[in-house]
Amino acid sequence: MTMSDVFFRELEACRMVIEDALENALPPSGETYEPLLESMRYSLIAGGKRIRAIICMKFCEAAGGKIEAAIPAACAIEMLHSYTLIHDDLPCMDDDDMRRGKPSNHIKFGEFTATLAGDALQAYAFETVLKSKLPPDAVVKMAQVLAENSGPHGVCGGQYLDLSSEGKDIAMGQLLETYLLKTSALVSAGAQMGAIAGGGTVTQIYAAKQYAKAVGLAFQARDDILDLTATAEKLGKPIGSDKENQKTTLASLLGIEKCKKLIQIETENALQVIDGNFENAKFLKSLAKFLVGREF
């Protein structure tokens, strides 16, 4: 078995762990507001790469903990990510009708239900973290990290910058700030929570944050390229939406070749920052390299 085979088997094993956990993560059905819960489940268990959750679990392991300790945090990061996708697709935002090869949440359930499902998933993410069986100080730290990266200094701030820049020519600095908030923040939250769950040191938690910052930026840059070059069937969502919405992206600002170079640089940054800070970061290194050339 090659090193590549080992990595992909481990990647799939981690993905299955989080998929199984998510199946049972939401409240049971039977409530009077069941359509809201159904809307939440629809997006939460719709599949996807689960990269943020996997990073969370693997940083827990790299810091010396067992993957199981990070499951609540990994579920929470997927709940928060699903909320952002539901809201991203709304007509008032990116106005996309498809997500992961299926109708967007608001197409399936209507706008008000979809909006509330996103709101509820965000709240339930925090409830899930706070129910973790880890020591109280670790639980509080994880909740703080999640809050810092999901609010105005994270995803919401990044989404505002993204939407308010449509139809405008923006400089490289503002675009990078947008990406670091909109995309890297959630990857960072997952990485840091994983390191905390694993009992990581301050140095390790900081290294996880820096790794995620670099991987998140490379991930978004790759998304920009795929939006121009991939097919809707392969991505499971409409392509060319950035151009249609008149958004400046790294691909449109730099061109595809320079964008690929930036991805390589950020990937190297990710590899260097965890080198020597964790006893076993082999999987995390392989993951960073894998994301460079992904086609989905």
| Average pLDDT of the residues of the chain | 91
Averaged over 51-72, what is the pLDDT? 97
List of residues 6+ apart from 13 with CB closer than 8 A? none
Chosen CATH of 3-292 out of 1.10.275.10, 1.10.600.10, 3.40.50.300, 3.10.560.10:
1.10.600.10
Averaged over 279-296, what is the pLDDT? 87
The answer to whether the CB of 26 falls within 8 A of the CB of 40 is yes
Among 18-32, 41-55, 127-141, 233-247, where is mean pLDDT lowest? 233-247
The answer to whether the CB of 132 falls within 8 A of the CB of 72 is yes
Question: Does the pLDDT of residue 234 top 80, yes or no?
Answer: no
Q: Where are the domains of the chain?
A: 3-292
**Cα distance between residue 142 and residue 126, in whole Å:** 9
pLDDT at 168: 85
Averaged over 101-123, what is the pLDDT? 96
Collapsing DSSP to helix, strand or coil, 261 comes out as helix
pLDDT at 48: 87
Between 232 and 256, residue with greater pLDDT: 256
Question: Does the pLDDT of residue 110 top 70, yes or no?
Answer: yes
Cα 257 → chain centroid: 25
Confidence of residue 296 (pLDDT cuts 50, 70, 90): low
Averaged over 11-17, what is the pLDDT? 96
Q: Kindly report, residue by residue over 122-147, the tens digit of the pLDDT.
A: 999 999 999 999 999 999 999 999 99
Q: Kindly report, residue by residue over 150-189, the tens digit of the pLDDT.
A: 999 999 999 999 999 888 888 899 999 999 999 999 999 9
**Cα distance between residue 40 and residue 50, in whole Å:** 16
